[in-house]
Amino acid sequence: MQIRENVSLKALNTFGLDAKARYFCSLHKMGGLRSVMQWAQEHPDLPVMFLGGGSNMLFVADFPGLVVQVRLLDKEILGQDDNYFYVRAAAGENWHDFVRWTIDQNMAGLENLSLIPGTVGAAPMQNIGAYGVEVKDCIYEVQAIDWRTAEIRDFSVEECRFSYRDSFFKSVEPGRWLIVTVVFRLPRKPQWKTAYAGVREQLEGKTLNARLISDAIINIRQSKLPDPAVIGNAGSFFKNPMIPQAKWETLQAQFPGIPGWPQGDEVKLSAGWLIDQCGWKGKRDGDAGTFEKHALVLVNHGNATGAQIWDFAYAIVTSVQAKFGVTLEPEPWVVK
């Protein structure tokens, strides 16, 4: 296991921020984990973080400890029962390539999650979601290693405590568990989810299959979200906020036409709409800005620092709070 010092993470985070890791290594095989853990035990004062595709991270500062890039690769079909196919993938597999591979195997379920940047291991961490599907809908179990004890544990989908862009691994015990493999459960009789505005129009009158839906999702994403290879970004920068019913009624009276979707007792608002209404779409301050076609996506126009992106985000939060009385929460993991 080669541990390097002062390594730039610029190519390893989709914001393209030139943050540095004090120490860095890549984990290609499970066998390598023992020496990484031993190194960490010999340096008890240094923090350790795991990096997947770096697609949901904002480095506001350099990382003072060890960054472990998870490159574990493997995928296989485990079998099937009356209702599902079971497929296992290692954490370092590229998410979109994995989705397309399942489609190549004539399996459905993940097509709505096409083209989401990142890795298989990062997907359960924040329960990635798009166009009416969340990854939790297709997860059977997650295998993770306790970074403190080296215990390997299988988490059932209930134990993962998934919720909107959240999980046990992200919020309850952050930094403790390293996700190493994910087992997916993909329905043998697919239920297509095509009601989302934009998706429905593209597929009108067509005989549906997973590849067709995946292609439509790719089209939609490419038409409104920036490609991180061209312009640095981490997808949606804020979560869509949930507000109580009473607050929703007040907002509706004040701002007729405000979009909102009931979710149990609460209402989910569109963070993109709120930010847009405050005049932020396409705005920039130096190289930090919002994408011209989508106000929810913060972008690095070239040489922004993480601190500049973070200041820009803070200005957005302040103005949405002032206009609507709603507090936006960042979606990416912020390293400060």
Tell me the DSSP string of 217-281.
Answer: HHHHHHHHS--TTTSEEEEESBPPPEEEHHHHHHHHHHSTT--EEEETTEEEE-HHHHHHHTT-T
Residue type, 262: P
24 part of the interface to ligand EPU, by CB under 6 A: no
Query: Locate tokens 């709120």: which residue?
Result: 274
Q: Which of 18, 166, 276, 287 binds ligand EPU (CB under 6 A)?
A: 276
What track of x and - describes contact with ligand EPU for positions 290 through 309 (by CB under 6 A)? ----xxx-------------
Closest CA to 190 of 136, 114, 110: 110
Neighbour count for residue 198 (Cβ, 10 Å): 16
Cβ closer to ligand EPU: 154 or 329? 329
Options 134-142, 171-179, 207-215, 288-296: segment touching ligand EPU (CB under 6 A): 288-296
281 part of the interface to ligand EPU, by CB under 6 A: yes
Least distance (Å) between residue 239 CB and ligand EPU: 5
Q: Decide if 238 contacts 58 (C-beta within 8 A).
A: no
Q: Decide if 26 contacts 71 (C-beta within 8 A).
A: yes
Q: Which of 28, 43, 239, 283 binds ligand EPU (CB under 6 A)?
A: 239
Enzyme catalytic residues? 165, 236, 331
Cβ closer to ligand EPU: 33 or 139? 139
Residue type, 293: K
Options 17-25, 103-111, 234-242, 303-311: segment touching ligand EPU (CB under 6 A): 234-242
279 part of the interface to ligand EPU, by CB under 6 A: no
Cβ closer to ligand EPU: 143 or 240? 240
Cβ closer to ligand EPU: 40 or 242? 242
Cβ closer to ligand EPU: 7 or 135? 135
Q: Is 268 left (phi over 0), alpha (psi -120 to 50) or beta?
A: beta
Q: Which of 12, 17, 57, 130 binds ligand EPU (CB under 6 A)?
A: 130
248 part of the interface to ligand EPU, by CB under 6 A: no
331 part of the interface to ligand EPU, by CB under 6 A: yes
DSSP, res 11: G
3-class DSSP assignment, residue 288: strand
Residues 73-112 that bind ligand EPU (CB under 6 A): none
Cβ closer to ligand EPU: 37 or 220? 220
316 part of the interface to ligand EPU, by CB under 6 A: no
Cβ closer to ligand EPU: 30 or 258? 258
What track of x and - describes contact with ligand EPU for positions 190 through 219 (by CB under 6 A)? ------------------------------
113 part of the interface to ligand EPU, by CB under 6 A: no
Q: How many CA atoms lie within 13 A of 207 on its CB side?
A: 0
3-class DSSP assignment, residue 122: helix
Tell me the DSSP string of 171-187.
Answer: IISTTTEEEEEEEEEEE
Q: Which of 23, 95, 155, 273 binds ligand EPU (CB under 6 A)?
A: 273
Tokens describing residue 322: 């002032």
d(CA 240, CA 7): 34
Strand (E) or helix (H) holding 103 = helix 95-104
Strand (E) or helix (H) holding 80 = strand 75-80
What residues line the site for ligand EPU (CB under 6 A)?
130-131, 235-236, 239-240, 259, 270, 272-273, 276, 281, 294-296, 331
